[in-house]
Structure 1
Amino acid sequence: ALSYREKELVGHGIEKHYEGYGSPVGKLKGINLAIEDMGPRDLKAYNIYEGKTVSLEFEGDIKVTGEIVTGTRNPRGEIILITFKNCRITHLEKPLFEFIGQLYHMAVGEHIVSAFNGPADLNSFDLITHKITETTIKMKKSPERKKLEQYYGQVRDFREGTNTTISRHKVFEAMKANHPNDWLLSVELYELAKINGDTDFAHDIALHLETVKSNTPLLGHLIDDGLGLVDMENAAQKTDRY
């Protein structure tokens, strides 16, 4: 079954995918922007829209060819599924799957962020007569880790508007002092600073991230990609307003 945010997608239960499910993961070859991050103009530019027959080649040499029937979006408007008809999937020209006369629903995602056993939507499975045989191993969290997750929660609450009294500056200073190598929360704070027009705060965060890059060079491309995406979206929003 396919789910989003622990909720099964309509029409994608175990009755539909009783033999399992497969989908390519990653970016399209030669395109830096992941499909889920594309806006309507980007999708149009790359011929990813309804009624168009396309051949999508991924960086892992997986090629998906077929006619796009429709797309499924999440509540934020991001594409999470693309539905094809007469679809053929190959790897280095070797056929993997062929869906002639039926629909193929391709999940959209640049990478896998986590994996665990058990159903994503508990309400969609009969757990009265079917018990999960294994439990997920949970690592014991240190006090420092719990505090960092608390910072993430505060920033999320601010973003979602459930608690706008949180001082993002205090969170940033505390994070620098106690978690100097954590970069993802800084990128989130950078995005909020850009959205709110706080250029000085955004500049301070960018300087801190330069220090993180110097201390941990392997994180450099992740940080650059994160900041670049924020700047690109911010510029696009300004253009749309004008």
Structure 2
Amino acid sequence: MPTQAQIIARLPRHLRPYACVQDYARYTARDHAVWRFIMRQLTRSLEHSAHPVYFEGLKKTGIRLDRIPSIDEMNRCLEPLGWSALVVDGYIPTSVFSEFQMRRILAIAMDMRSIDNILYTPAPDIVHESAGHAPFIVDVDYAEYLQRFGEISMKAISTQADHAVFLAIRALSALKEARNASDAELANAQAGLDAALAANDHSSEAARLARLQWWTIEYGLVGDVADYKLFGAGLLSSLGESRSCLDDGAVRKLPLTVEAVNTPYDITRPQPQLFVARSCQHLTQVLEVFAQGMCFRKGGAESLRVAIDSGSVCTARYNSGLEVGGVFDRVLTDAIGNAIYLGTRGPTQLAFQGRELVGHGVETHAEGYGSPVGRLQGLPRCLSDYSVDELKSLGIAVGRNVRLDYLSGIRVQGRLDSLRRESGRNLIFSFSDCTVTGLAGERLFEPHWGRYDLGVGEAIVSVCGGPADRESLADTEAFDTTTREPAQPSPTDRQLDAIYADLRALRERGAPASSDLQPIENALQRFPGEWLARLELLELANADRAERLQRELAHLAQCDADKRPLIEMGLGGLSEATTRPAPSRTA
């Protein structure tokens, strides 16, 4: 089995900055106790409401209930399934997350939520990403849906406004989880998010796909509206919403259709409705219905206009296979709406099958690119289909002055210096001393501008989001992968962690004596609000000590409304554990 470092080394260069190697030693004993509490309560709560695959998947994907999972252990289990896992630091760009998914890699946030955010974490964490997403990988149909979703999501066109919202969410979530964030920092970050949301109409392909992901992968139900099971990772990893969503009076259940892409969601509050899929195959069917209307399937002038409106890097593919990647700012059409000329501004690359063509990267086309689209007058086939000999018979040969007249009225005239062919097709004709004019005589290219690289093709068959060659254009889509340094543990943190470490050691050793527990109970008196350690001590306590701890916990629950539901969950779980055997699946 490859190590995490080896998996990272095999990634394309543009993905490597987002992947990390898990530093397992960074998780404290208190972190493990929080994980254990969450997982014990979740598996207890989900016993009858989660899809049965969930419990099978927990065991088969290397996720234990008693401690935070090791990514290496998970990879040993995922490898036979054709998947692997890597840790990432918080929110990563949607396109990057999608490419990991397309490559059958689970991107798992490395952080563990704090005890203060035990019910809900504002930032991605290892509970949600591993215990929520990984278990369903064992279902072949679901795994195929996840991979297919990644493939399609990579092609979605996003806007600058989408990116601004992403950056604002990332900044705010990191601050909320950081214990050393000031009120002023939080207020500024919230204001930044509010402004970004107000400026975004959320109608882009990427935004609508994000809704479909939310209502399926994150908050999906499976079955029918009268008899359903939970399978969405957001539900399966939420102590609160995994229960509250079962109230059909408060949360409507709707059959899943493609209309879900028009249903907005709010990540800050419980959802008012959820969608029910018939099966994992049904998920893929809905995804494909949406994909049929995306620009990567439709192409044409309409799709180029979507790319222009996005203001982001997109890729247009000619029927010849030539790919133009950059920020599009121009499309000319004929009288019936066919694209006859396209243009970009700023760094642009020309590529074929996702690989940048030598000599046609952003250095060559740093100021932008423009080229006609269409068939030449008098030719029965697309210019890309002609052999070199056929071109010569038409007077189109390297070293000659050539004039190309398009049906649209665009004319290209200059000295043909070279032509680029791939897979038996003409992709690029390079001219010197070249003039390009439109139907009305307008100049689209002047000789003194330098070499003119004519893109060959009669139609734009696909337009998708992102660069044509993601690795070669990665630098132009630079993203700050640095994150806020976590707060250093205080003396109080270290003292608390020592208590949790002692509790863990005693529990794993088994049948501790009363004398072993007394020092821990004494130490806890310095932390009157530490409810979770008292619950863990209660598990090990004899009758007299248990009665005293229960009184302390009852007092805490009475004094602190936020802690009350957590304490009640913990006590309920302990009560059940004493009256029946633990289910075999909770290893």
Aligned with residue 415 of structure 2, among 41, 64, 67: 67
CA distance in 1, matches of 2:408, 2:397: 23
Map 1:72-221 → 2, pairs under 5 A: 72-74=420-422, 76-92=423-439, 93-100=441-448, 102-126=450-474, 130-131=478-479
CA distance in 2, matches of 1:119, 1:129: 9
What TM-score results when the alignment is normalised by the length of structure 1?
0.51
**1:142-198 Cα distance to aligned partner (Å, 9 max, x none):** xxxxxxxxxxxxxxxxxxxxxxxxxxxxxxxxxxxxxxxxxxxxxxxxxxxxxxxxx
Aligned with residue 359 of structure 2, among 1, 6, 11: 11
SS for the counterpart of 2:413 is strand
Amino acid at match of 1:28: L
Amino acid at match of 1:22: G
User: Is structure 2 residue 399 aligned with structure 1 residue 51?
Assistant: yes
Q: Is contact 1:82–1:107 with CA below 8 Å preserved after alignment?
A: yes
Relative distance call for 1:129 and 1:29 in structure 2 (3 A) is closer
Aligned with residue 21 of structure 1, among 348, 359, 369: 369
SS for the counterpart of 2:372 is coil
* Higher fraction of helix: 2
**1:182-228 Cα distance to aligned partner (Å, 9 max, x none):** xxxxxxxxxxxxxxxxxxxxxxxxxxxxxxxxxxxxxxxxxxxxxxx
Aligned with residue 385 of structure 2, among 18, 28, 37: 37
Amino acid at match of 2:451: L
SS for the counterpart of 2:392 is helix
Aligned-pair CA distance for 1:29? 1.2
Amino acid at match of 2:385: D
Amino acid at match of 1:45: S
Structure 1 unmatched ranges of 5 or more? 132-242
CA distance in 2, matches of 1:26, 1:96: 16
CA distance in 2, matches of 1:124, 1:64: 29
Aligned-pair CA distance for 1:101? 6.9
Relative distance call for 1:108 and 1:128 in structure 2 (3 A) is closer
Aligned-pair CA distance for 1:128? 9.4
What TM-score results when the alignment is normalised by the length of structure 2?
0.21
CA distance in 2, matches of 1:13, 1:73: 17
**1:103-150 Cα distance to aligned partner (Å, 9 max, x none):** 11111111111001211111102369625xxxxxxxxxxxxxxxxxxx
SS for the counterpart of 2:446 is strand
Q: Is contact 1:35–1:109 with CA below 8 Å preserved after alignment?
A: yes
Relative distance call for 1:124 and 1:96 in structure 2 (3 A) is same
**1:20-75 Cα distance to aligned partner (Å, 9 max, x none):** 1111111101211211111233201211110110110111111000000010111x
Relative distance call for 1:129 and 1:2 in structure 2 (3 A) is closer
Q: Is contact 1:62–1:90 with CA below 8 Å preserved after alignment?
A: yes
CA distance in 2, matches of 1:128, 1:83: 25
Amino acid at match of 2:427: I
* Runs of 4+ residues over 4 Å off in structure 1: none
CA distance in 2, matches of 1:68, 1:105: 10
Amino acid at match of 2:433: N
Structure 2 unmatched ranges of 5 or more? 1-348, 480-587
SS for the counterpart of 1:72 is strand
Amino acid at match of 1:4: F
SS for the counterpart of 1:113 is strand
Q: Is contact 1:85–1:100 with CA below 8 Å preserved after alignment?
A: no
Count of residues in correspondence between the two structures: 130
Aligned-pair CA distance for 1:99? 2.7
SS for the counterpart of 2:437 is strand
CA distance in 2, matches of 1:95, 1:129: 31
CA distance in 2, matches of 1:72, 1:38: 13
CA distance in 1, matches of 2:407, 2:477: 42
